[in-house]
Structure 1
Amino acid sequence: MEDLHSFGWYAKRVAKYMPEGVFKPVPARLWGGLAYLLIVIAGFLTIGFSDWNPLLYIPISIVLGASFAGMGFLGHEILHGTVIKQPLLRDILGAIAFWPLSTGPKLWRKWHNLNHHIHTQDDEKDPDSWPTIEKIKKMKIFQWIYKLPFFVRAFFGFASLSFQFTAHSLHMFFLFVTDFKKKKQPEVWMQTIMPWASWIGLLFIVGFGKWIFMFLIPLIIANMIVMGYISTNHRLNPLVPVNDPLANSLTVTVPKWVDVIHFNFSYHTEHHLFPGMSPKHYPLVKEKIKEMWPERYHEMPMGRALKALWQTPRVYSSEQTELVDPKKGSLYGSLGNGLNPKNIKIKVDRHKSQSQS
């Protein structure tokens, strides 16, 4: 693997070219969150107080799901401190923004801000990294899954995006809750329990039929939108011994209007370089990175990134720079290590080699 540098190494060299004031909070971002909140309230009231054919609720559910996701993107921004700095107000607004996804602000900062950002793509320390072949061999359920044909695994892998954020968030809660000091743990519990209590309470208020359209379908849609980004953020990149954002992160490109409604969440390499900068300024960061390290910067259209995920396995080889299919032992490159997203090919076909020998 080429020489790696820490995110601080890059940040130091890029920051001096940034305009004055780019590291200040941008409270105006909250207007987008207010718009999403009003849309959600309007959608809930429309479904709750109407008696329409259920098919007519589907478009509302889609809008609600998109709004849940948009609120989550803003919540991510708020809890990085790039919207407001006051800790209490930051946590209150972050909790509201993450309420549809039922993720508490204290858990998110512990899981995402501290562990994921500081140890990105570290095999042992990043809670979001995918496993190596050695770890898979110790997990019986994954051993069974990886006996399935590649196409079947890819299909179910993409289908799982519909609930993966919610499931992973709950897993992170149980993983990290005991890491908090005893006196803080009740608050962490409450921040997780209260959103779920509200959604379960809604079920009893409106009934199962309307609850499906008000919460369940929107949650599935929100998971798919959020995981569409998260699954492309790092899963085509190698595991790395040094937290190098240009090696371990991918920026995807989407239409400009999508960047607007998703608060520039597509600029992921830039985010890992400057998590304390408002994403409003990430186009400036991207321009400078591409000017200084064009050969190391990874970006591609969202559709191409998702297609590459479909065509490659999600297990890392022992070397951690390649992806491996546990069933056949076939090796695929990762970004910066032989993977060409426009033409996915097996790097080493061990199954074919063994057959010939």
Structure 2
Amino acid sequence: MKELHSFGWYASRITPNLSKDVFKPVPARLWGGFAYLLIVVTGFLAIGLFDLHMVLNIVIAGVLGASFAGMGFLGHEILHGTVVKKSWLRNFLGAVAFWPLSTGPRLWRKWHNMNHHVHTQHDEKDPDAWPNLEKFVQNSFLRAIYRLPFGVRAFFSFLSLSIQFTIHGTMMFIEYIKDFNPKNRPAVLLQTVLPWATWIGLLFWIGPIKWLFAFLIPLLIANFIVMSYISTNHRLNPLTSVNDPLANSLTVTVPKWVNVLHFNFSYHTEHHLFPSMSPKYYPIVKQHIKKMWPERYHEMKMSKAMKALWNTPRIYFKDNELIDPHKQYTFGTLGNGLASGKPSHSDGLKKTV
């Protein structure tokens, strides 16, 4: 692995080449969120008030799921302070945007802004980092999962993307609620409970069948879309002791229209260099990174990144490699030999696991 540098090291070298305007909030981004909100409300009313054909309900559920995800991407942007600066307005708009995913703004800032961004891909401090071999040995559930045949494990791993964000968000609430000042805990709890109260209320209003199409299926779709990005953001990269975004983050490439719908969320290395900059300007940052450090920068088509995820395990070995403990195969990470997700070599680790 090349010498690692902090995100501040890179940012300080790119910033002189950028206009001051790129660091200003872009409130116009809210128009996209308003459009998504109108679609969601319209979808709820259509399913709730009319007895539509199942095919139409499925179509609406798909649109709602895509809208839930789009709102989540905007909520992520809002809570980084790149849309509006006023604290109360940022929290309010962030709460609305994350409402479908039932994630409160205070919890998100603690979990994502303060912990994930500051300690990205640190094996102990990043709440989103996947476990190393030592943690795997201590986890009976993971050991059982990795005894499954590879194809079965990969299939269920991808299927689980449809619930991972919701489950991980719940785990983060349990993990971090104790870290909040006691006087702030009721607000954190309320921000977590209120969205779920809304969705349970919707269940009683429209009934279980319609609720399936209005909320549950859309939630699964939104989880899958969001986690497809989150999984490719870092899970092919090595663990790093220094928070080096060019080593521990991946930018995926998607069609331009997808970037419009997803608020440029695909530019993830750029985001970790400048989290307080509107993603509107990340294409400019990307140009500078590729000009200054082309050999360090990682980008990959989303389809290729998802294929590499399918073909590799999620257990780290020596930080720079991924390992299938029972097959005793190791795989390179990005920057350390990962090409198509094929095993690089075999180590005699049977006694270890």
Give the alignment's TM-score, normalised by structure 2.
Answer: 0.98
Counterpart CA distance in 2 for 1:56 and 1:294 is 47
SS at match of 2:345: coil
Contact 2:309 2:341 in 1 (8 A): no
Distance in 1 between residues matched to 2:42 and 2:212, nearest whole Å: 16
Aligned to 1:330: 329
Query: Matches of 2:274 and 2:108 in 1, distance apart?
Result: 18
1:21 aligns with 2:18: no
Name the counterpart of 2:342: 345
Q: CA deviation at 1:19?
A: 1.7
Q: Which residue of 2 aligns with 1:177?
A: 177
Match of 1:221 in 2: 221
Matched residue type, 1:328 = K
Whole-Å Cα distance in 1 between the matches of residues 56 and 278 of structure 2? 38
- The CA distance in 2 between the partners of 1:301 and 1:100, in whole Å, is 28
Q: Which residue in 2 is equivalent to 1:242? A: 242
Q: Within 5 A, what are the aligned runs for 1:76-155?
A: 76-155=76-155
Partner Cα separation in structure 1 for residue 290 and residue 56 of structure 2:
46
* Aligned 8 A contact 1:234 1:250 in 2: yes
- Between the aligned partners of 1:157 and 1:293, the Cα distance in structure 2 is 34
**Fraction of identical pairs, as percent:** 66
What amino acid is the match of 2:83?
V
- Give the aligned partner of residue 210 of structure 1: 210
Contact 2:247 2:296 in 1 (8 A): yes
**RMSD between superposed Cα atoms in Å:** 1.0
Check if 1:188 corresponds to 2:188. Answer: yes
Matched, 1:31 2:31: yes
Letter paired with 1:349: S
| Structure 1 range deviating more: 152-161 or 50-59 | 50-59
Checking the alignment, whether the CA contact within 8 Å between 1:57 and 1:213 is kept in structure 2 is yes
Distance between the aligned counterparts of 1:224 and 1:345, measured in 2? 25
Looking at structure 2, the residues matched to 39 and 156 of structure 1 have their Cα atoms a distance apart, in angstroms, of: 31
Q: CA deviation at 1:348?
A: 1.1
Equivalent AA in structure 2 for residue 36 of structure 1:
Y
* Aligned-pair CA distance for 1:46: 0.7
Give the residue type in structure 1 aligned to 2:347: R
Inter-partner Cα distance in structure 2 for 1:254 and 1:160: 22
CA contact (8 A) 1:328 1:350 kept: no
Consecutive aligned runs of 4 or more in structure 1 exceeding 3 Å deviation: none
Distance 1:277 1:212 in 2: 37
Q: Give the distance between the partners of 2:298 and 2:334, measured in 1 at CA.
A: 7
Quick one: distance in 1 between partners of 2:92 and 2:140? 41
1:150 deviates by: 1.2
2:290 is matched with 290
Secondary structure class of the residue paired with 2:29: helix
Residues 251, 300 of structure 1: 8 Å contact kept: yes
DSSP-derived class of the 1:300 partner:
strand
Equivalences, count:
350
Q: Distance in 2 between the 1:255 and 1:52 partners?
A: 33
CA deviation vs aligned residue, 1:51-100 (integer Å, no higher than 9, x gap) = 12223200000000000000000000000000000000000000000000
CA distance in 1, matches of 2:342, 2:104: 41
Q: Which residue of 1 aligns with 2:74?
A: 74
- Give the CA deviation at 1:117: 0.0
Task: Give yes or no for contact 1:61–1:214 (8 Å, CA) kept in 2.
Answer: yes
The aligned amino acid for 1:332 is: F
* SS at 1:126 equivalent: coil
Q: Alignment partner of 1:118: what SS?
A: coil
Distance, in Å, in 1 between the alignment partners of 2:299 and 2:161 is 21
TM-score of the two chains, using structure 1 as the length reference: 0.97
For 1:20 and 1:78, locate their aligned partners in 2 and report how far apart those are by CA, in whole Å: 19
Distance 1:344 1:177 in 2: 38
1:266 aligns with 2:263: no
Counterpart of 2:301 in structure 1: which amino acid? Answer: P
CA contact under 8 A between 1:239 and 1:248: conserved in structure 2? yes
Question: How much does 1:344 deviate?
Answer: 2.9
Q: Which moved more, 1:53-62 or 1:209-218?
A: 53-62
Matching residue's letter, 1:149: P
Structure 1 residue 236 displacement after superposition: 0.2
Distance 1:84 1:184 in 2: 23
Deviation at 1:149, TM superposition (A): 1.1
In 1, Cα distance between equivalents of 2:264 and 2:313: 28
Match of 1:199 in 2: 199
Instruction: Tell me the amino acid that sits aligned with residue 350 of structure 1.
Output: D
Distance 1:52 1:95 in 2: 31
Q: CA deviation at 1:225?
A: 0.5
Distance 2:70 2:52 in 1: 27
Q: Which blocks of at least 5 consecutive residues in structure 2 are unaligned?
A: none
